[in-house]
Structure 1
Amino acid sequence: MTGLRSGFYAVATALFALAAMNAQAEDGPVTIAAEPLALSESDAKVERIGRLAYRGGLVLSSGEERVGGVSGLRWLGGDRFLAITDQGDWLRLDTEEADDRLTGIAAARIGILTDDRGAPLLVKPLADAEALSIQRTDGKPVAANVYFERSHRAWRYALDEDGGIGAFMRELPLGDWVEALPENGGIEAVAGTERGTFLIPEDLRRDGRVLAHRQWRGRDGKLRTSEIPFELPTDFKPTDAHALPDGGILLLSRRYSPLQGVAARLDLLEFQASPSGPGRLKRTPLTMLKAPLTVDNMEALAIRVSGERTFLYLMSDDNFSPAQRTLLMKFELMPAKRAAQARPSTKPPEAKPGPGETISPDD
């Protein structure tokens, strides 16, 4: 731990001890209102964009001022989801669903992320959580991996029986490459696959290409990291990612431009191994959300698998601004026509580890 980070911890602990106790007392159930949301602001009948079928959406609001700033989202199981915010809070959401459509929020809990001494993260340089993945044992979620920017790091937390984030467990190794990350441009997207964990920063490029990093453990147990650049339009920045059942990666990116407005895009990434190099990420555009379709500052992505069906949940970061909204949108990823015709009812082939690799997915 650097001296600067240690200094931040000392200041946070000394100046905010009383506030922390008061804040912890407020942790627990929170009321969230949900209003229905159409996919298109100009035509309520629009329910399909490319391979995505709209399965309902909500505009969320709450009298609790800490609800907002969502930067990461994951499905825990059933109708339960876990989110993190860039102010150092976690938010557990239980959705209401009817006929596979998102219709409301049944219950919610909120809590504060803590450090290795149990002190709440109350200052922005320490609390800026931007990415989330879930560690599972026998299919059950047992831990949450939270990735922070400004003070670039990854911490693992225990999950309680209700899906809330509990005590700090340990720091996860990332490597020296994070030292090159801009203060406000850290790891935003994380996807744990059978080929390793893919870490994608918001604002780290070379020759116009995003510099993703793949981490995996060799047969000797040592952690290895390789840099894998891939193409992404320069006006878009990665905000979240998630592994798909077929071994691919779904990448969420967003754009904000005073001239072009707000937009979000989804791309499919496919890792292709190479015996003589780090491999490559092949990117295939999937779809884009932009006006007149409903869109905001989309920063969070969760994938929910039900049998042969795959559902996507997108959530926006309102930046705690009255000019923005917290949106939760549900889509179903429909099979590609060629894949549907060739294998309408079979499972996709499992990804296999390459030479010298072990399988250790994060979520």
Structure 2
Amino acid sequence: MAGPAAPTAAASVHLSLGEVHALASRCLVANGCDAVNAGAVADTIAAAERDICLSHGLFRLPGYVASLRSGKVNGSARPQVEDLAPGVVRVDGKGGFAPLALQAGREPLMGKARSQGIAALALNDIHHFAALWPEVEALAEQGLCAFAFTAAFPYVVAAGGRRPIYGTNPMAFAWPRPGRDPLVFDQASSALARGEIMIAAREGHEVPPGTGIDADGNATTDPKAILDGGAQLPFGGYKGASIALMIELLVGALIGDKFSFEALAADNGDGGPPKGGELMLAIDPARFGDPEGFAAHAELLFAQITAEEGVRLPADRRRRNRATTATAGVAVDAALHARILDLAGG
């Protein structure tokens, strides 16, 4: 089978981060979002562009718009917070986008974690379409360890399978470093994030071996074959598949929300984000076994890791990107920029 066409140099448009935020917000408001929800989503989009996480920035905006236009997402949602237990808080997202529901749940989650030592936040009836690292980083900046999990549509096969059953099912973790930026990682259970495959298809280049299979179940590096009737593979075979399974249970059965295959069955096919849930966990190190020395002890490990030339800690590259984009702005694919302007009404 022939591979994808050779990539061509893509034209780009230069925007400041403020212009990214304003464009995203204007586009969302023009398509049925109120200002509060639009601002929360624009914060998320701008953060992704700031860190040059292109698959979760403006690239996602047409999908957000599609779900507003179709009526799938409530652009004026007001999330409702519910206290379930001393260590558990729930936010009903009321069918809106995830960012505003996350904002509503953050302070209650932090308060419970500091009171109980560990706490959980269940978010239900939301549409999550972004990276997970912003939500865990925000908690680590306040001195807490944090985890986040969410599902998607069924894109990924079980180990040994050919039928997609799991979402890409990302998980994120953040560790506080007093006086320094937190350690943060955010990774899919699939070998490659869905958005990266979509960008590869748009730009006409192959994806790494082990990313996915075509409609006949054959291994392929053609992103279009993976997206059009094929399926994604879990990272590390059964290891990634087991993590994807765990996340399905945590954000589906545990919190009373949808598995990935249930999200697909309930979806209207508008190309926007799935309806489902998210689970976050927060831990206060001050309530565990080494409240005074945990941070210094962790730094010993980080020093050992980075002592080897060429080794960096997770999130270091994103932070270097931040230092550049804060003043230099970002380059946005010109065709994408034109499409967003059209969606925003010119």
Would you call these one fold, judging by a TM-score over 0.5?
A: no
Bigger helix share: 2
Normalised by the length of structure 2, the TM-score is 0.32
More strand by share: 1
TM-score for the superposition, normalised by structure 1: 0.31
